[in-house]
């Protein structure tokens, strides 16, 4: 038995050698495949053993009640939980009547890999059965980018040494038994047998199943078809029952002979479409996939990814782990959103059930900036999903006695699903985050039609929210009181700086968009008087400042609170929310995740450089990073303030969040925001990209551990390539119109085919700021003779082992 897995550091792939049964959940997330429409966890082909089975269809969920000990006006009544739908991955194998199960017999070798340029999961196994029969199994799996309803598997079995009678059972299974749920019992109830059978049929090599969820009434059709190649002894049969279908192939194989199978799996789902319509949709998708064939699907996958990497690749010299990690991240961010097509991008993508499969503000603030520059069509579709939920957001605002729209803190379908209102409903900044994503998309793509048909209405309704939520005080300042900012260790605060600054940008963006589209704005009830009130609120937005400390308080009065007793907080008491009441956290100076620092990242124009340096140092001493959202933002500001080594440490924490399972919960699914954060830390941090002004700007600087950084951006229909070394930055537009940008404040005109080289100014030398005791990021020192490989060290400088 192979009981330890190792992962090779390779720039274009993730490769696993060996298998750790105790850590299957993590590997299932790392090897998950998705296209934003369908998601398959990287479970073993044979189904057992598993960490957590998982087949997900974007937006397919079940409802569950949200009871309260004490009900209150406006509390959400129903929660939504992503469900494991009909599983088409399972391929059971019997060799001379022995089930192929890695827990028995002798597992001589086990290899898995995904090449990010191919988008195919490959697996090679050599196994000796308890009876002594040796076999080799090779399988390949993909979720198609080009045919969004299709997943497919290539499966090959070969005996070694002696003839073998083999039986392949290719299955389609609904209502799989899941591991015991130790969390919310209401979620467990929703997850247990969530599908009710409506139809099942088997014919030849094809099986179809149609189910409907009990409460949300979402209908799901799943179908599979097969192609077989093998000896003359090959026999094939099929059968179905309400929750399962099976196609069985049997053959006697001589040594050297192979039995090959291609399995095509199709899905369709809808809240509205009829059973016959969904059945026919899945059947039609199968016909198209069979016509394309396995080689064709693989070729289409490669073609799709070739186009993506040509415009989106990030090259990092000097840190091989970060090079691998950022490509791993881009691959999974693309998988999360590429074919989501007007559905949400969940916080875990479609890689696991973490956070109940909900989408948060993570999507707009972390994932969409990456997609806007690398896959803009996917970013537009994610925003169109938000637009589709506007009626629900208006209803929520009306329920809360507010104008405009109140988008949910967490949701799948569009309704608010957070039962804890101080962290949910009160986190109104999500509305400005969505507006910011709209404004960025329009600025970077120049998509005027999108702004007119989708973006304008979002901007208007969110601006209306801020105008009704805030008020002018006696001094004329526009205040937004009683809200929760990004930091979840603070709640119901007055004038959170991040919220106020993002609301300010929202109000101005809405007024500007209304001016560009006056006729459409008039249809939406916006005139010059309305936009003038928005601009007035924005101009007088209250941004608190503490003159005694020379820093901006995270929210009004925050710097007057007692500082958390970090010295007497034990390492095992982190994350704090699991060991201390929120009442205690809310009234102390302790920060779960970047908040004021995030404000400086997103609204850098509102702070001077001196203010950024002072603010950053102050909040470093208070931030414990009990959230995966924090490290990348801290990396960006650390780089801007000149703390390049610290920025490198935070970059690695964001980039390796899942590859090293830093928070020990990768088994629930990958952290999409942190994956996107590796790109943000590199491109916004060391590349210095900022897009809040009239033209995009760059202020690149590299830390000692990196010798070169290169990345591509899609900007208004052209491809911009930026390459940074220790002393120079080179800007190139290979084709398309010329463009103007800023480099460290200097205007640069880049003409197609004529690279422009600019000098990178030296970095100021500043003292490294301190973090709370025991919450320092792992330090990564460049070790002599490692060819740029750097290893993690603790605060004392001793090298720690690398996970896996």
Our measurement of the distance from residue 387's CA atom to the centroid of its chain's CA atoms, rounded to an integer in Å, reads: 20
d(Cα 639, Cα 692) in Å, to the nearest integer? 18
Q: Tell me, what's the pLDDT at 636?
A: 98
- Locus of tokens 């469900």: 83
- Please say if the pLDDT value at position 796 is more than 80: no
Q: What is the largest CA-CA distance in the chain?
A: 90
pLDDT digits (tens, 9 = 90+) for 169-206: 999 999 998 887 666 554 555 578 999 999 999 999 99
For 320-349, give one letter per residue: b (16+ CB within 10 A) or e: bbbbbbbbbbbbbbbbbbbbbbebbbbbbb
For every residue of 99-130, DSSP letters joined together read E--TTSSEEEEEEEEEETTTTEEEEEEEEE-T
The answer to whether 588 is annotated as binding is no
- Please say if the pLDDT value at position 278 is more than 80: yes
The answer to whether 4 is annotated as binding is no
Q: Tell me, what's the pLDDT at 155?
A: 98
- Please say if the pLDDT value at position 339 is more than 70: yes
Residue 4: CB atoms within 10 Å? 11
Identify the CATH assignment for 11-308 out of 3.40.980.10, 3.40.50.300, 2.70.98.40, 3.30.420.40: 2.70.98.40
For 111-131, give one letter per residue: b (16+ CB within 10 A) or e: ebbbbbbbbbbbbebbbbbee
d(Cα 289, Cα 88) in Å, to the nearest integer? 15
Residue 801 banded pLDDT, cuts 50, 70, 90: very low
Average pLDDT, the chain: 94
For every residue of 589-621, DSSP letters joined together read E-BSS-SHHHHHHHTGGGS-HHHHHHHHHHHHT
HSE value, Cβ hemisphere, 13 Å, CA-based, for 652: 26
Measuring CA to CA, which residue among 754, 667, 703 is closest to residue 42? 667
Instruction: Report residue 518: phi and psi, to 5°.
Output: -65, -35
What proportion of the chain, given as a percentage, has pLDDT over 70? 95
Asked if 144 and 297 touch (Cβ cutoff 8 Å), the reply is yes
Residue 527 banded pLDDT, cuts 50, 70, 90: very high
User: Looking at 306-450, which runs of residues are DSSP E strands?
Assistant: 314-317
d(Cα 47, Cα 501) in Å, to the nearest integer? 50
705 forms beta bridges with: none
The answer to whether 348 is annotated as binding is no
DSSP element (H, E) containing 27: helix 24-30
Residue 782 banded pLDDT, cuts 50, 70, 90: low
Measuring CA to CA, which residue among 19, 240, 249 is closest to residue 125? 19
Q: Tell me, what's the pLDDT at 802?
A: 29
Q: Tell me, what's the pLDDT at 2?
A: 58
Would residue 767 be called left, alpha or beta, if left means φ above 0 and alpha means ψ between -120 and 50 degrees?
A: beta
Burial class (CB in 10 A: 0-12, 13-18, 19+), 616: buried
Measuring CA to CA, which residue among 45, 46, 6 is closest to residue 23? 6
The answer to whether 592 is annotated as binding is yes
- Give the CATH number of domain 313-732: 1.50.10.10
Q: Tell me, what's the pLDDT at 299?
A: 98
pLDDT digits (tens, 9 = 90+) for 625-677: 999 999 999 999 999 999 999 999 999 999 999 999 999 999 999 999 999 99
pLDDT digits (tens, 9 = 90+) for 96-125: 999 999 999 999 999 999 999 999 999 999
Residue 804 banded pLDDT, cuts 50, 70, 90: very low
- Report, as an integer, the average pLDDT of 536-551: 98
Measuring CA to CA, which residue among 711, 688, 575, 576 is closest to residue 637? 688
Domain boundary assignment for the chain: 11-308, 313-732
Asked if 361 and 323 touch (Cβ cutoff 8 Å), the reply is no
Q: Tell me, what's the pLDDT at 77?
A: 85
- Please say if the pLDDT value at position 799 is more than 70: no
pLDDT digits (tens, 9 = 90+) for 719-749: 999 999 999 999 999 988 999 999 999 999 9
d(Cα 682, Cα 632) in Å, to the nearest integer? 9
DSSP element (H, E) containing 638: helix 630-641
DSSP code, position 474: T
Residue 798 banded pLDDT, cuts 50, 70, 90: very low
Active site amino acids = 488
For every residue of 686-754, DSSP letters joined together read IS--B-SSSS-EE-----TT-SEEEEEEEETTEEEEEEE-SSEEEEE--SSS-EEEEETTEEEEEBTTB
- Report, as an integer, the average pLDDT of 436-456: 98
Measuring CA to CA, which residue among 681, 650, 783 is closest to residue 791? 783
- Please say if the pLDDT value at position 528 is more than 80: yes
For the whole model, what pTM was predicted? 0.95
pLDDT digits (tens, 9 = 90+) for 372-427: 999 999 999 999 999 999 999 999 999 999 999 999 999 999 999 998 999 899 99
Reading the block at residue 196, the tokens are 């009710």
d(Cα 660, Cα 764) in Å, to the nearest integer? 32
Q: Tell me, what's the pLDDT at 589?
A: 98
Task: Return the ∠ at Cα 451 (arms to 145 and 542), rounded to 5°.
Answer: 115
Burial class (CB in 10 A: 0-12, 13-18, 19+), 534: buried
What 3-state class would DSSP assign to 171?
strand
d(Cα 318, Cα 724) in Å, to the nearest integer? 13
């Amino acid at each position: 038995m192979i009981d330890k897995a190792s992962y090779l550091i390779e720039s274009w792939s993730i490769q696993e050698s060996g298998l750790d049964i105790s850590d299957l959940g993590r590997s299932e997330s790392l090897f998950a495949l998705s296209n934003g429409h369908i998601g398959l966890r990287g479970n073993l082909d044979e189904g057992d053993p598993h960490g957590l089975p998982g087949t997900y269809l974007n937006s397919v969920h079940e409802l569950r009640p949200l009871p309260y000990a004490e009900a209150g006006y406006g509390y959400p009544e129903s929660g939504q939980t992503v469900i494991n739908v009909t599983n088409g991955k399972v391929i059971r194998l019997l060799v001379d009547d022995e089930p192929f199960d890695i827990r028995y017999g002798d597992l001589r070798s086990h290899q898995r890999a995904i090449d990010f340029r191919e988008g195919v999961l490959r697996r090679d196994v050599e196994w000796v059965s308890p009876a002594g029969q040796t076999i080799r199994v090779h399988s390949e799996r993909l979720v198609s980018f080009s045919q969004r309803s299709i997943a497919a598997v290539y499966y090959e079995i070969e005996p070694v040494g002696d003839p073998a009678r083999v039986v392949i059972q290719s299955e389609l299974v609904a209502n799989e038994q899941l591991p015991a749920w130790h969390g919310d019992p209401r979620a467990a109830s929703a997850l247990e047998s969530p599908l009710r059978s409506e139809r099942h049929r088997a014919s030849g090599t094809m099986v179809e199943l149609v189910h409907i969820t009990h409460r949300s009434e979402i209908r799901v059709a799943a179908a599979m078809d097969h192609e077989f190649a093998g000896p003359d002894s090959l026999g094939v049969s099929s059968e179905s029952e309400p929750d399962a279908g099976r196609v069985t192939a049997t053959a006697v194989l001589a040594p050297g002979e192979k039995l090959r199978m291609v399995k095509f799996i199709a899905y369709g789902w809808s809240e509205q479409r009829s059973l016959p319509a969904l059945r026919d949709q899945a059947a039609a998708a199968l016909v198209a996939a069979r016509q394309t064939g396995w080689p064709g699907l693989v070729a289409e996958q490669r073609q799709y990814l070739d186009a993506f990497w040509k415009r989106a690749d990030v090259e990092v010299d000097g840190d091989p782990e970060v090079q691998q990690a950022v490509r791993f991240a881009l691959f999974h961010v693309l998988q999360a959103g590429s074919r989501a097509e007007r559905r949400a991008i969940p916080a875990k993508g479609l890689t696991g059930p973490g956070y109940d499969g909900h989408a948060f503000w993570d999507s707009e603030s972390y994932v969409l900036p990456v997609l806007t520059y690398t896959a803009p069509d996917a970013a537009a579709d994610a925003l169109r999903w938000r637009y589709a939920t506007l009626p629900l957001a208006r209803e929520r605002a009306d329920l809360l006695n507010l104008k405009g729209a109140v988008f949910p803190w967490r949701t799948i379908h569009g309704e608010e699903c957070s039962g804890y209102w101080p962290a949910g409903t009160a986190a109104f900044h999500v509305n400005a985050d969505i507006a910011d994503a709209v404004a960025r998309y329009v600025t970077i793509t120049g998509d005027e039609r999108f702004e007119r048909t989708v973006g304008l209405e979002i901007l208007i309704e969110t601006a209306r929210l801020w105008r009704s939520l805030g008020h002018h005080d006696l001094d004329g300042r526009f205040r937004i009181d009683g809200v929760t900012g990004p930091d979840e260790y603070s709640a119901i605060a007055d004038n959170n700086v991040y919220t106020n600054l993002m609301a300010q940008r929202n109000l101005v963006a809405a007024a500007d968009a209304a001016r560009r589209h006056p006729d459409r704005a008039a249809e939406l009830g916006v005139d010059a008087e309305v936009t003038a009130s928005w601009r007035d609120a924005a101009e007088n937005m209250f941004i608190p400042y503490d003159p005694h400390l020379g820093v901006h308080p995270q929210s009004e009065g925050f710097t007057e609170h007692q500082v958390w007793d970090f010295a007497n907080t034990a390492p095992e008491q982190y994350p704090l929310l699991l060991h201390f009441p929120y009442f205690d956290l809310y009234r102390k100076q302790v920060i779960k995740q970047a908040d004021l620092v995030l404000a400086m990242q997103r609204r850098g124009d509102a702070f001077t450089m001196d203010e950024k340096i002072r603010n950053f140092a102050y909040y470093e001493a208070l931030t414990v990073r009990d959230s995966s959202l924090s490290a990348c933002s801290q990396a960006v500001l650390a780089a801007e303030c000149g703390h390049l080594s610290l920025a490198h440490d935070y970059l690695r924490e964001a980039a390796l969040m899942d590859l090293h399972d830093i928070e020990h919960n990768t088994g629930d699914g990958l952290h999409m925001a942190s994956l996107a954060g590796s790109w943000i830390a590199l491109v916004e941090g060391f590349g210095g990209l900022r897009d809040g002004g009239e033209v995009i700007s760059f202020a690149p600087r590299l830390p000692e551990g990196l010798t070169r950084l290169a990345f591509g951006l899609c900007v208004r229909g052209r491809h911009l390539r930026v390459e940074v070394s220790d002393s120079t930055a080179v800007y190139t537009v290979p084709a398309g119109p010329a463009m103007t940008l800023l480099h460290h404040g200097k205007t640069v005109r880049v003409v197609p085919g004529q690279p422009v080289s600019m000098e990178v100014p030296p970095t100021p030398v500043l003292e490294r700021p301190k973090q709370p005791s025991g919450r320092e990021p792992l330090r990564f020192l460049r070790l002599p003779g490692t060819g740029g490989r750097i290893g993690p060290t603790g605060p004392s400088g001793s090298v720690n082992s690398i996970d896996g």
